[in-house]
Amino acid sequence: MPSSLPPEIWRIIFDHTTLAPRPWEGGLYRPFEPVLELYETPGWQQRESLRRRTCLALCRVSRLFRAIATELLYRDVCVCDVEGLESLLSGLARSAREATTPTLGSYIRRLELPGPARMATTPLVSTLRPTSESLGHQLVDLLAYCPNLEVFVRPALPFEAASVAFWGTLAHTPITLKHPLKSLRRLEWHETDLEYRLCGATQAARLRELVSYAPHLRYLFLCTDRGDALSELTPILTRSLRTLRLYRLHSETGPGHGSSPTRPHRHRRASSSLSCGPSPPPKTALSPPSVPRIRHLILHSAPSTPILDLLDTVGKDIRVVELAFAPQATFSPNQMRRILLRTPAVEELAYNLGAPEISSLPSGVQATSVRRVRLRVNPDDWNPSRPVMCAQLEVLLGDSFPGLRELVLHDSTGWLVKRDSARRLLKRLVEKGRVLLDEDGSRLEIPSL
């Protein structure tokens, strides 16, 4: 009978049926992971609502089901409004006072705050405006209840006074915890220039405090208009950091940010082969044990001066460079050179075919360390024209990547290999000794012309 199943089996069944509709596996790197906004579609909202209703229904069946479903319900928490925040903090505080083992807060693995406004059931202005009861609620209080937190997401705020006031009140107090967030593996921080102007130095201070309290952080997604954000974080980045995803980070810091102007660009002497590596990096305030050993770098645009300055310090350890999905964007020869010059040990280059378009390296410059290229092809997202498609494959046939051994196609629809012009170029790659692989690692056969 089903009732005779052990709790471990029920746990597996419930875990499968109540899985969150978006991946968030701690600090793991996965190629071509879309940004948060792409998950929050109407279909995502329906699946998330169904997940919560399923967990609540299971809680009413029996004590065993309640114990299992409660853990799954609190695993992924998204706070959308003041009422939700008050309810969550009340429940976490009551659980801590009752000294239940484990506490409700110990179940929370992923926390998004403030969550997507469109998930609120009442108008945004009324739900996000701080009340007299909520003025005492602070981010530090919530984090103190979550000792096993693995993922913290702070999405960009809607451009309206209510949402900014909600976050400004929540993040007003400095984060001072008795114990570090030892389980925190992934931090996603999205902010705009307008938010920084309205919230002032509080915005940057909370980010620095979160990073400093995460000794085992492995994945940092930083989306900001502040050009000085990286230089502020670099001295406190943990050595465990393996993946760095960067969006925007303009070279110039806007007025009113209270930071010094951007340093003038340092001219670097051209090298005929990237395999020789860059010139010795400049001395920094970091002591060697504190320098993060970043393995994966994800760029959403051509690198600005702050990003290049960071790569001067950490670029030698990077093994994978991914250029995030960016239609109608182009990485020029010099932009490609600046990236690869600072990452002399990079082994893998990943990007969407034609989004962005990459260029061949300048004449006489080669990225000899690149052994693998991952190409994502999805006509539902982006359908490159025939000239663009051919030009991008010609780059791989040229002299820029003489050490290239594998071309991995993330093309579930088979769109690329169905085109005659692409098949001809792919055959030329195979004839030059390159191995064509599917994303699952199996060898990919090219259909006859």
Written as six digits, the tokens of 181 are 């967030």
Lowest-pLDDT range of 116-125, 242-251, 394-403: 116-125
Lowest-pLDDT range of 2-6, 171-175, 223-227, 419-423: 2-6
Using the CB atoms, write b or e for 157-194: b if 16+ within 10 Å. Answer: beeeebbbbbbbbbbeeebeeeeebebbbbbbbbbbbe
Task: Supply the Cα-derived Rg of the chain in whole angstroms.
Answer: 24
The total of other beta-carbon atoms located within 10 Å of residue 246's CB is: 23
Q: Can you tell me whether residue 188 is helix, strand or coil?
A: strand
The predicted-structure confidence for 356-414, as pLDDT tens digits, reads as follows 999 999 998 999 999 999 999 988 888 899 999 999 999 999 999 999 999 999 999 99
**pLDDT beyond 50 at 268:** no
| 380 class by beta-carbon count within 10 Å (0-12 exposed, 13-18 middle, 19+ buried) | exposed
Band of pLDDT at residue 150, cut at 50, 70 and 90: very high
Q: Please check whether residue 319 is in contact with residue 296, taking contact to mean a CB–CB distance below 8 angstroms.
A: yes
Euclidean distance between CA atoms 330 and 337, whole angstroms: 13
Q: Measured on CA atoms in the order 359, 364, 369, 372, is the torsion positive or negative?
A: positive
The predicted-structure confidence for 173-230, as pLDDT tens digits, reads as follows 899 999 999 999 999 998 877 777 777 678 889 999 999 999 999 999 999 888 788 8
* Sequence ranges of the domains in the chain: 319-449
Q: Can you tell me whether residue 316 is helix, strand or coil?
A: helix
Place of tokens 């007025």: 255
The predicted-structure confidence for 305-361, as pLDDT tens digits, reads as follows 989 999 999 999 999 999 999 998 999 999 999 999 999 999 999 999 999 999 999
What's the pTM value of the predicted model, to 2 decimals?
Answer: 0.84
Q: What is the mean pLDDT of residues 233-254?
A: 83
51 against 214, higher pLDDT? 214
Q: What is the mean pLDDT of residues 75-104?
A: 84
Q: Please check whether residue 319 is in contact with residue 350, taking contact to mean a CB–CB distance below 8 angstroms.
A: no
| 148 class by beta-carbon count within 10 Å (0-12 exposed, 13-18 middle, 19+ buried) | middle
**pLDDT beyond 60 at 22:** no
